[in-house]
Structure 1
Amino acid sequence: MKREDLKGLKLTNPLHFAAVGFGSGLPNKAPGTFGTIAAIPLYYLLSFLSIESYVAMLIITSLLGFWFCHVASRDMGVHDHKAIVWDEFVGYWITMVAVPFSWQWALVGFLLFRFFDILKPWPISWLDKKMKGGFGIMIDDIVAGLFSAVILQVLIHFYG
């Protein structure tokens, strides 16, 4: 990403660093995809949590994400700058709720989440256009994660 595209971003600011997925959102091409890829090893670690702890983690990371994304977006002067990928982390982790770790299901979850995040079928597209601030940055990916999670659970039920 060109330096001028990152005006206002300070990687020494922990909120900015988290919002850009610890740097995974900084590539010029496909930052959302790179952000989602960076979420996979963290999902592996999270997969050892009980379902209750995993859901609590989702709530906490979503609430923190509203804040991280709002601050980074405000400081960069761009709503939902493409380098901000914390929403991809949380969306992917939502996709993978209650999924025992395997590389097969991690890949299927990745593909499902990217499908919904990129194509944004209704109501994801509506949320993406209408909601603003940190909540607006996060909510479309949260819903994409929910859609992906439902389909992934159906696939696991029939093919797992």
Structure 2
Amino acid sequence: MTVAKLLGTCCGIGYFRPAPGTWGSLAALPLTLALHLLGGFPLLAIVTLCAIVIGYWAAIEMTRGQEDLDPSEFVLDELAGQMLALWAISLPAWLHGLDITALWPGWVAGFLLFRLFDIWKPGPVGWADRRKGPFGVMMDDVIAGAMAAIGIVVLAGLSHGVPGL
């Protein structure tokens, strides 16, 4: 197995069936928790950004000369997008010294929103997905992760009351 395939499949998680993308997203949950506990939001942010860059490279390598430009076993995009979605939990927990596990509703919402946007592909997610090749492979999940993060913030605001309303 090549390094690109090892990384792109998240050490083989992409071969899990059914729904390899969901397995890739699930793998991001304990990884995000561990990164947050080890180094807070800054470590999570650095690793997420590295995963996006490495994912782009791995997507180039895994699809080189292939007809399938978005192989289902490539799940580093889901891992990176899910981690990005969870920035909306990690950042406030880190800034305010909160126990990130106490924010469990945000974890659930982040997972469900990310999977919804990744599968449904609304607006900019669909636009990125239609771009064939490594850019589309990575960016649809990055955008879905950003949208899920926004969704977490909106839901938290609704749940806890938005100041001034």
Paired AA for residue 67 in structure 1? W
Question: 1:76: Cα distance to partner?
Answer: 5.1
Q: Which residue of structure 1 lines up, in the alignment, with residue 76 of structure 2? A: 86
* Unmatched runs of 5 consecutive residues or more in structure 2: 94-99, 161-165
Partner residue, 2:132 = 132
Paired residues for 1:133-152 under 5 Å: 133-152=133-152
After TM superposition, list the pairs within 5 Å mapping 1:1-160 onto structure 2.
12-48=1-37, 49-74=39-64, 77-99=67-89, 100=93, 101-102=100-101, 103-129=104-130, 131-159=131-159
Letter of the 2:40 partner, please give it. Answer: S
Give the 3 Å change call, closer, same or farther, for CA 36–75 of structure 1 in structure 2.
Answer: farther
- Match of residue 5 from structure 1: none
Between the two proteins, the alignment pairs up a number of residues equal to 148
Q: Tell me the TM-score normalised to structure 1 length.
A: 0.83
Contact 1:95 1:145 in 2 (8 A): yes
Structure 1 residue 104 displacement after superposition: 3.2
In the aligned structure 2, how far is the partner of 1:54 from the partner of 1:41?
A: 12
Cα–Cα, structure 1 residues 39 and 52, in superposed 2: closer, same or farther, change >3 Å?
A: closer
How much identity, in percent, do the aligned residues show? 32
In structure 2, distance between residues paired with 1:98 and 1:27: 28
Per the TM alignment, residue 126 of structure 1 is displaced from its structure 2 partner at its CA by: 1.6
Deviation at 1:24, TM superposition (A): 1.4
Which residue identity lines up with residue 109 of structure 2 in the other structure?
V
Shift of 1:82: 0.9
Q: Which has the higher helix share?
A: 2
Larger Rg: 2
Q: Using the alignment, how far apart are the partners of 2:54 and 2:105 within structure 1? A: 29
Q: Which moved more, 1:110-119 or 1:30-39?
A: 30-39
Check the 8 A contact 1:71/1:134 in 2, yes or no.
no
Alpha carbons 1:128, 1:139 under 8 Å: kept: yes
Which runs of 5 or more structure 1 residues have no equivalent in the other structure?
1-11
CA contact (8 A) 2:88 2:150 kept: no
Cα distance, 1:76–1:46 mapped onto 2, change above 3 Å = farther
Task: Give the Cα separation in 1 of the matches to 2:54 and 2:67.
Answer: 20
